[in-house]
Amino acid sequence: MSHDNSKPLMRFLLLFSRQGKLRLQKWFTPMSDREKKKIIRDMTTMVLARQPRSCNFLHWKDLKIIYKRYASLYFCLAIESQENELLALEVIHRYVELLDKYFGNVCELDIIFNFEKAYFILDEFLMGGEIQETSKQVVNRCIESSDMLQETMEEYMSKPAF
Amino acid sequence: MALKIVKGSIDRMFDKNLQDLVRGIRNHKEDEAKYISTCIDEIKQELKQDNIAVKANAVCKLTYLQMLGYDVSWAAFNIVEVMSSSKFTYKRIGYLAASQCFHESTDVIMLTTNQIRKDLSSPNQYDTGVALTGLSCFVTPDLARDLANDIMTLVSHGDCVKRKRCSVLIMYKVFLKYPESLRPAFPRLKEKLEDPDPGVQSAAVNVICELARRNPKNYLSLAPLFFKLMTSSTNNWVLIKIIKLFGALTPLEPRLGKKLIEPLTNLIHSTSAMSLLYECVNTVIAGQYCSSVGSVVLCVQKLRILIEDSDQNLKYLGLLAMSKILKTHPKSVQSHKDLILQCLDDKDESIRLRALDLLYGMVSKKNLMEIVKKLMLHVDKAEGTTYRDELLTKIIDICSQSNYQYITNFEWSVSQPVTPHPPGISVSWWTIRVFAVAQMATLLDNAHLLTGSMQRNGICEVLYAAAWICGEFSEHLENPLQTLEAMLRPKVATLPGHIQAVYVQNAAKLFATVLKSQEGNTDSTTAQETSQLMIDRLPLFVQSANLEVQERASCILQLVKYIQKLQQKDVEVAEEVIALFAGELNPVAPKAQKKVPVPEGLDLDAWINEPPSESESEDEQPKAIFAKEEPKHSRPRHTEVDEKELARRREARKQEQANNPFYIKASPSSQKVYQDAPGVEHIPVVQIDLSVPLKVPGLPMSDQYVKLEEERRQKERAEKKKKEKKKRKEKRSGRGKKHDSGPESEEDITPAHMVDIVTEEMPEVRCVSLQIQFSTSRIFNELSPSSFWVFNEKKSSKHKKKKQKKEKEEKEKKKKKKKHHHHHHHSDGGGEESVQNGTVEEEEPLPVSVYDIQGNLQDGSQVVVSVIFENKCDSFLKSMEFNVLDSLNSKLQRPEGSGPHDGLTVPFQLPPGVSNEARFVFTVQSIVMPQKLKGTLTFIVKDSSTHEKLDFKLHFTCTSYLITTPCYSDAFAKLLESGDLKGSSVRLEGVNMPFHHLLARICFHHHFSVVERIDSCASMYSRSIQGHHVCLLVKTSGQTVSIDAKCDEPTLLGNVLDEIKQTFSQC
């Protein structure tokens, strides 16, 4: 077993556009900014170079990269080499479903302009690289009630979302 | 409203919010860096203000900029400020920023300890939530140490489920950073494994599984607890974790393996979640030591289904797992060669590469030629250079694997243009030398085709071998001059140095051969021209940068110049030139020495010099032995000795030898053997089984060989079959056994076109295949929690009761049973209504109730029917016999030897009140029509010992022949476009249910899967067990539902539509 045991199952999750613009990044292990930048660069070039209709798995260093494209966005999740690829795809899909539910037919712009919400949803679903809550309903309920608690920034700024 | 606008514009005067920033960046695409630097300046101003709202806004913007790759570490302190705001709004933003920006070396983290502690114990559960989330991202050893206790308090006393769950998860992080906290916390963590809340439970499972994988030894004691969880849990996320954990534990405790194999196989059978299935299969494969042959067969079957799937991901993973099995059970994988070869056609390169890897391991003597032939076809087709290089390298690897052990037909191998034939082959298999040389000459002639793109990968190595072979065995060349010319082409100079060197050297050998052949020819122009050719071309190599090439070339050049001079003087030089390269390499098989018979009279163990004390005639005996060994040398010496003396000595020696028990007596023939000088022909060469005669004219292409080989094998097979038939006739009962051993012998591996390769002895495995068919509904299509159950075909019975009394009682029981079933398989109430896919109609309610039937399907012609027998009377029932009146189309499968009307003995007895299930296999020919079969069940009631009879009807509907098969929209569109399908449509009136319920109902009852859904319109797809495609287009408007359907079998379609109609008319 070559893997470093102190690392969580999921290492990072990146969302980027077809043009390679990063839309969201979540690091489940602490990493320096330089490392992060290098990984982001590697990921975008690797994933964007893939032929359409290829399988969604890649090997990168000792990690497995699972990516999936939804509309114009690529979701890219790095997991340990022993982890289950299909489960990782489910995690990605579940996150997309959660976003979809929250934003109502989510699109890239939703995530660009409300990126903090996208993070909140993700934090509700995953925690420290582990699945925190498997039920969609529970996650949605949590997000809704946190939002209730939060007087929205829009209210304060009294402007439309975008 | 007006006030708000005014307030907004005032705010906007001094700050922008996140949306403004994002919009601004998008509008300044050209000078983004400049724009952002002004923004950062603004943010710095905002951070200086006292208003926490403004600060939070600034931090929020910074988080965004951080994502874009800008350094925001300078604002770390401001982030802490925002984190410690009492308002959740700002706290949330602060923690988000911290979790994104902080890492272990951020020094302000130590300032957060108290704030986090406060938030953890906050009465507001959301404060705790964000704090825990943040902590999970930036926990340091210090934080872990300081906060471990607070977290422990949350775990044990947390009033709210969410808090508990999060804190359990965060414990893992804390343990990692501060391992001392593990020991005191562990008992509490263990308690959480049995927490009533599934969320907390799964969090605990997560944490313990991760801990256990780090250090499995300490967690062996938890195995029983996890085993219980594994058999009871229905949460697939949790199940996968537990299975992973067991994967880590089994190496330490081999007994676990035996225990696990059953629940694992059950899961493999029953789950429809591909991720879980894949995990189980992987675990079974990894724990080879505990897996029986049966489970490996099962895994291979499942993997085959994955590989056959249209989903690239499943295909890839299937191949990946296959290669793991290949290492331990190569034979079970080899039978799927056809499938793996198909994967080489895949569009996806990573899948092709996987398949290649697999093929490498699958090669055997039997299939090598076929595989390489297929690969060669792909080389021609291959587009990407990397892929083609990989292909060629793999072909070489495959052929040269284990020192050519799989190559039975060397002639074939030599004819493969890319196979490397290191000189080794041609030397050792001297029988095919002539052939090889001819091939190599052609190859050299066409070398220009090979060079160029192939130079990068090792393909040009073959030229190295070719040149050597042609040089060394040049006497077999038909046209040495032509080959010589080919070897001296200027293009050769582009080849790697070591190859050029061989070229030069062998050109010289060829030159010698040409001279030899021209010797005695009165016209010496050819010989002279050849010399001139050498002198013209060799300078190119003399200039070579490669030392070896240069050295050889200049040597040979000078030599040729000298020869030319001699030629001009008409001196015959050929003999001398040939002498330069004289001496033939003889093939010696590794075991050849053993095969050389030890000559009689030669005792290898005997002393060559007799120990001095033993004998008087010490100087004679060694001589005698020496004489025998090397008669040529010793003979002249013997002639000097006079005949009489010799005879006397001989006599004496004979006597001596006769008296000496250590001597083996010589026989008269022994000398003869040694008279002949040992020639090449006497050294035995390993016999090659050449199936093709050597005198094939011209150069046959490789596929001809394959054909010949195939024919030969077919013949063999036919003969074998004949033999087997005979055997079978003799020994009918022994049939099963032979089948069982089938897959073990290499001879019998037939391509497994069907999933069902299992024999009658393994009924469980047989059912597997049908379960697979059902479980093809994939998680990606429907990710709701309910997607984790199997679309298990489920039928309830329709009872026609004559006796009113019993009806009530029975209904109650039925309900109970049903509930139980539903609970087991799915959690939503979707299957509440009875379905008419297959029913048992009971004519008389006798004490035995045949009351649940699960029509199950597998390959094209078989249907498995599960019948549950329940004894409702108070007596013991025994000797049950199940019989069905066969129709022309459907037949009950009976054991061999029984008549067509014999009943099947139900393999159990029923005490009162007990139920049990039996399965029966039916063979069905045509599936386009629904079927009704009449049957009877006879049994003996023990107390009264009376024979009783119960009649029933089995109803096979067309729906029951459909398998839920997912389909991509593009494949679906292609299918519709193909025009092979015939259409039909049906209208349903008064359907009063939401559209998605309607779809779910069709999916569930009629085994369709939704291809695409747009508003109130959906396309659906299913496939019959015989491969008919059934496509539906379902539209709804108001209470009317119209279904347009297409299928390649109109009768089947009509019946399916009728059945759908019936389903909806019942509700």
Phi, psi of A116 (to 5 degrees): -70, -35
State the residue for tokens 């109970």. B816
Instruction: Establish if A146 touches chain B: CB-CB under 8 angstroms.
Output: yes
Tell me which H or E stretch contains B842: strand B840-842
CA distance B306 to B314: 5
Residues 29 to 88 of A: which have CB under 8 A from any B CB? 30-33, 37, 40, 51, 53-58, 82, 84-87
CA distance B481 to B538: 15
CA distance B55 to B52: 5
What residues does B867 pair with on adjacent strands? B853, B918
What residues does B1018 pair with on adjacent strands? B1013, B1034
- Whether residue B44 contacts residue B78, with contact meaning beta carbons closer than 8 Å, is answered with no
What residues does A80 pair with on adjacent strands? A63
Residue B731 buriedness (CB in 10 A; 0-12 / 13-18 / 19+) = exposed
Taking only the tens place, the pLDDT of each residue in B97-155 is 998 888 878 888 888 999 999 998 888 888 888 898 888 888 888 889 999 888 888 88
Q: Is B317 within 8 Å of A57 when comparing Cβ atoms? A: yes
Q: Is A113 within 8 Å of B22 when comparing Cβ atoms? A: yes
CA distance A121 to A143: 7
Q: Which CATH topology does B848-956 take?
A: Immunoglobulin-like (2.60.40)
- What is the widest separation between alpha-carbon atoms in chain A? 55
Taking only the tens place, the pLDDT of each residue in B858-915 is 556 777 777 777 777 777 787 888 888 888 778 888 877 777 777 888 877 877 777 7
Domain boundaries, chain A: 10-157
Q: At residue B202, what is the residue type?
A: S
Q: Is B8 within 8 Å of A112 when comparing Cβ atoms? A: no
Nearest alpha-carbon partner for B489 in B475, B504, B509, B474: B504
Q: Which CATH topology does A10-157 take?
A: Beta-Lactamase (3.30.450)
Tell me which H or E stretch contains B269: helix B254-270
Q: Chain A contacts of B132, Cβ < 8 Å?
A: 127
Taking only the tens place, the pLDDT of each residue in B395-420 is 767 766 544 545 544 445 544 544 44
- Give helix B198-214 / helix B236-249 axis angle, nearest 10°: 20
Tell me which H or E stretch contains B206: helix B198-214
- For B214, the token pair is 């780090």
CA distance B229 to B202: 10
Whole-Å CA distances, B350 to A39, A64, B315, B354, B359: 22, 14, 10, 6, 14
Total CB pairs under 8 A between chain A and B: 183
- For B818, the token pair is 């049903």
- Whether residue B399 contacts residue B420, with contact meaning beta carbons closer than 8 Å, is answered with yes
Q: Is A54 within 8 Å of B57 when comparing Cβ atoms? A: no
| N-to-C CA span, chain B | 53
> How sure is the predictor about B983, in pLDDT bands with cuts at 50, 70 and 90?
confident
Can you give B790-833 as a three-state secondary structure string? CCCCCCECEECCCCHHHHHHHHHHHHHHHHHHHHHHCCCCCCCC
**Burial code of A134-154, b = ≥16 C-beta within 10 A, e = fewer?**
bebebbbebbeebeeebeebe
Taking only the tens place, the pLDDT of each residue in B213-242 is 888 888 888 888 888 888 888 888 888 888
User: How many residues are listed for chain B in this entry?
Assistant: 1067
Taking only the tens place, the pLDDT of each residue in A22-58 is 999 998 887 888 888 999 999 999 999 988 888 899 8
Nearest alpha-carbon partner for B1013 in B1033, B993, B1028: B1033
Residues 99 to 118 of A: which have CB under 8 A from any B CB? 112-113, 115-116
Strands across the sheet with B915-924, in order?
A: B848-857, B862-871, B915-924, B890-892
- Whether residue B892 contacts residue B906, with contact meaning beta carbons closer than 8 Å, is answered with no
CA distance B297 to B283: 14
CA angle B893, B898, B903 (to 5 degrees): 65
Residue B748 buriedness (CB in 10 A; 0-12 / 13-18 / 19+) = middle
Taking only the tens place, the pLDDT of each residue in B798-848 is 333 333 333 333 333 433 333 343 333 333 333 333 333 443 434 333 444
Q: Is A128 within 8 Å of B57 when comparing Cβ atoms? A: no
- For A151, the token pair is 């007087």
Taking only the tens place, the pLDDT of each residue in B751-806 is 433 333 333 333 332 222 222 222 222 222 332 332 222 223 333 333 333 333 33
- Whether residue B836 contacts residue B957, with contact meaning beta carbons closer than 8 Å, is answered with yes
How far does B144 lie from chain A, in Å, by closest CA? Answer: 14
What residues does B931 pair with on adjacent strands? B956
Q: Which of A6, A9, A123 sits opposite B133 (nearest CB)?
A: A123
Q: Is B162 within 8 Å of A142 when comparing Cβ atoms? A: yes
Domain covering B962-1066 in this structure, CATH number: 3.30.310.10
Q: Which of A27, A135, A157 sits opposite B17 (nearest CB)?
A: A157
How far does A133 lie from chain B, in Å, by closest CA? Answer: 6
State the residue for tokens 């002004």. B38
Q: Which residues contact B110 (CB under 8 A, 6 or more apart)?
A: B142
Q: Is A24 within 8 Å of B67 when comparing Cβ atoms? A: yes
- For B820, the token pair is 């139980």
Q: Chain B contacts of A87, Cβ < 8 Å?
A: 237, 240, 275, 279
**Burial code of B392-409, b = ≥16 C-beta within 10 A, e = fewer?**
bebbbebbbeeebebbbb
Q: Which of A16-20, B233-237, B295-299, B739-743 has the lowest mean pLDDT?
A: B739-743
User: How many residues are listed for chain A in this entry?
Assistant: 162
pLDDT at residue B96 in the model: 92
What residues does B923 pair with on adjacent strands? B862, B891
Taking only the tens place, the pLDDT of each residue in B358-389 is 888 787 777 777 777 777 777 777 666 667 77
